[in-house]
A and B are shown apart, each in its own frame.
Chain A
Amino acid sequence: MKLQIKDGRVIDPKNKLDQLADVFVAAGKIVGVGHAPADFHANRVIDAKGLIVCPGLVDLSVRLREPGFEYKATLESEMLAAASGGVTSLACPPDTDPPLDEPGLVEMLKFRAKNLPGPRVYPLGALTQRLEGTTLTEMAELREAGCVAFTQANVPIIDTQALLRALEYAATFGFAVWLRPQDFHLGRGIAHDGAVASRLGLPGIPALAETVALATILQLARHSGARIHITRLSTRDGIAMVRAAKQEGLPISCDVATTHLHLSEMDLTSFDAQMHLAPPVRTLRDRDAIREALRDGGIDAICSDHTPVDDDEKQVPFGESSPGASGVELLLPLTLKWAREMGVSLSQALELVSWKPAQILGIPNGHLSVGANADICLFDEHSEWQVSRRTLRSQGKNTPFIGHPMNGQVRFTVIDGHIDFEAPDA
């Protein structure tokens, strides 16, 4: 299949490219940008006039819910949802049932995903067996099976010695460890511990839950030399700590979820379980610190933290609801919304959801260099639409953004040179 993407505005942050150009694809690779290779005859020409042509998005956290939670979502539904959101590579956390702690499970997932249309799937292996925080997994075996890094997902390790050992073992092989900083004991509430939760009588998770855990992780990182990726930062103080650690030269990176770019504790007032997220949305000051740190490089990437939750787990009182929201289809529009509101260029915004997360994953995607995998997203920057249960392709219809207007709609998603998604009205 040879593809010509014609007359689009090509934005490729890695190569500092932002210009009107054609992109040429053959045999799953990008074979030309601007100039067609000799003797190129396209099987299909996509008219990209008025569209942005950028690297396919790389999402650092998409829960596919397999194995174990097929009633919440299936690989098919979530792969399609991701492709329709312009995502061409995704990392899936190991908090499935059973968790991804054995090579066989990882191989099965990779095999199933490979036979479906949709993004490239990069599993994150469990750092400890059954995510219990006590016994190490066979990290080297898991790596061979296809795991790109190791993590506890949202399950904190209570035993600090076990965490140190896990980091030392991972560092031995040069594997990256992804950790969400939340102290188990301080994290036992359900909403940000502040004036709003106090008023609503919701048990609080203080900002300290993040900073105390982060202090521990950073000390252990210094000691072990492990490569650390901090996931889902939520507090201003936490951002400052990661910033200082980077300046000190620690091999550390961090990400934030789209929800936390736009929401704060102020959105909690009606007890809407859609706002039950992990980590909790925090104060306006924290939210503004996140928005600023994305602009100045303090935070390295934006992810959707896509977590399909079924209705039965949201239509209950806030404190009994399951945390999380569907988000993979909103990664692009919510990133664009932030960029518009902050006056950030499209190129800088797209870098945070393509080239930068690709580097964190250590995968060769996230750019449009000649010779690279042909993973490409084409979207209409201005097209306005409204999020509704009907528009969401994910099986999880729950997100705090239901009813919100969005700008930016994906028209085509090309993965490995194939058009895996084409908007119905494109």
Chain B
Amino acid sequence: MNRQLTSDGQLKHLLTLDGLPRATLIKILDTAESFMDVGEREVKKVPLLRGKSIFNLFFEPSTRTRTTFEIAAKRLSADVVNLNIATSSQSKGETILDTVDNLAAMHADMFVVRHAQSGAAHLIAGHVAPHISVVNAGDGRHAHPTQGLLDMFTIRRYKGAFHNLTVAIVGDVLHSRVARSQIHALTTLGVPEVRVIAPKTLLPTGVEQMGVKVFHDMQTGLRDCDVIIMLRLQNERMKGARLPSAQEYFKFYGLTLDKLALAKPDAIVMHPGPMNRGVEIDSEVADGAQSVILPQVTYGIAVRMAVMALLAGGAAA
């Protein structure tokens, strides 16, 4: 996956956290830390990307991710154009690369791409002119690197370090690009024990080769965890060949206060959103004292600012 690094190790694109060096991850987190106060200022802007054009190319609908990317870009003073392509040119038969070429001709400096197919951001990064950077904002089941980074940012803020943690990721790992990015980041940053907890129907083949321990029940899987990350269960997966019903899923894999008590008393609970209350997480937990779900969203802006600033070659604020 070296397409995202230049020959001297600088970040050119952000496509996946798989294979990114630890130092690069730390640099992004540190840069994000330096942007944390920008949102608190009266004038919430720094001029790092003034004159740069960033295109948010969303081939798949999204509210939260697109909005946070937009806010992040605007706080860096970039010009932002949002395109929801699911509803425009793609339906007219234009290929993804045609779309990209047309936008590049409008002097784009950066593409933020979300697409339902794994590898779509790689395809675009391999196609664009050398001065253009690509940020993967989620491709199929493959990767969602900025989400993975903001989760690491959150963990570091609450836990201080990574080397002494046990982290559990619970739910639909199979279909989750978020889980894959989290796993790569956690193992790269030195978390000694990363667990996945799910029924066999929601785990990818050979997931243990990504460096995780596999559990099929919450009772043993959550024991003594420092961090619990709940994954969203897509509506279409709640009933069918992989799961019999949302009710049965909640009973065995939904995070309730009872199950949370198995983890360490100071464990934090995370969720990439949007949540299905009563399916993967109980409201008492989601809104409870151990939940850091809303801070995750806030940190997401600083982390995306950091990624865009580093890609555009800018220094820290």
Contact of A199 with B180 in the complex, beta carbons under 8 Å: yes
A312 within 8 A of B: yes
Main secondary structure of the interface of A (DSSP, over half): loop
In the bound complex, do residue A198 and residue B97 qualify as a contact, i.e. CB atoms below 8 Å apart?
A: no
Q: A200-B118, A202-B118, A316-B95 are in contact. Are A269 and B123 (CB under 8 A)?
A: no
User: Any chain A CB within 8 A of the CB of B18?
Assistant: yes
Judged by a CB distance under 8 angstroms, whether B216 is at the interface is no
Tell me the minimal C-beta distance from A311 to chain B in angstroms. Answer: 10
Nearest residue (CB) in A for B180 is A201
Interface membership of chain B positions 57-101, coded 1 if the CB is closer than 8 angstroms to chain A and 0 otherwise: 000000000000000000000000000000000000001110000
Known: A199-B210, A201-B140. A318 touches B205 (CB 8 A): no
Please give, as numbers and ranges, the residues of chain A lying within 8 Å of B235 by CB-CB distance: none
The verdict on A319 contacting B140 (CB below 8 Å), with A195-B206, A271-B118, A271-B119 known, is: yes
B97 touches A315 (CB 8 A): yes
B18 near A199: Cβ-Cβ < 8 Å: yes
Say whether, besides A198-B210, A201-B142, A318 and B96 are in contact (CB < 8 Å): no
Q: Are A318 and B117 in contact (CB under 8 A)?
A: yes
B142-155 near A? 1/0 per residue, CB < 8 Å = 11000000000000
A296 to chain B, nearest CB (A): 29
Chain A interface size range: 20 to 34
Interface size class of B (residues with CB under 8 A): 20 to 34
Interface members, chain B 255-305 (any A CB < 8 Å): none
Partner of B123, one of A197, A201, A271: A271
Q: Which chain A residue shows the least CB distance to B117?
A: A317
Given contacts A269-B1, A318-B119, contact A198 B18 (CB under 8 A): no
A292 within 8 A of B: no
- Give the Cβ gap from B127 to chain A, nearest Cβ, in Å: 8
Most chain B CB within 10 A, of A198, A201, A315, is at: A201
Contact mask for chain A residues 168-197; partner B; CB cutoff 8 A; 1 contact, 0 none: 000000000000000000000000011101
Q: Chain A residue with minimal CB distance to B142?
A: A201
Q: Is B157 an interface residue (CB 8 A)?
A: no
A204-B205 CB under 8 A given contacts A270-B3, A316-B123: yes
19 A-B pairs in the complex with CB atoms less than 8 angstroms apart: A194-B205, A195-B205, A198-B204, A198-B205, A198-B206, A199-B18, A199-B180, A201-B118, A201-B140, A204-B205, A271-B118, A271-B123, A312-B95, A315-B123, A316-B96, A317-B120, A317-B140, A319-B117, A320-B117
Which residues of A come within 8 Å of B, CB atoms?
A: 193-195, 197-204, 206, 269-271, 312, 315-320
Q: Which 5 A-B pairs have the closest CB atoms?
A: A271-B119, A201-B141, A201-B142, A317-B117, A198-B204
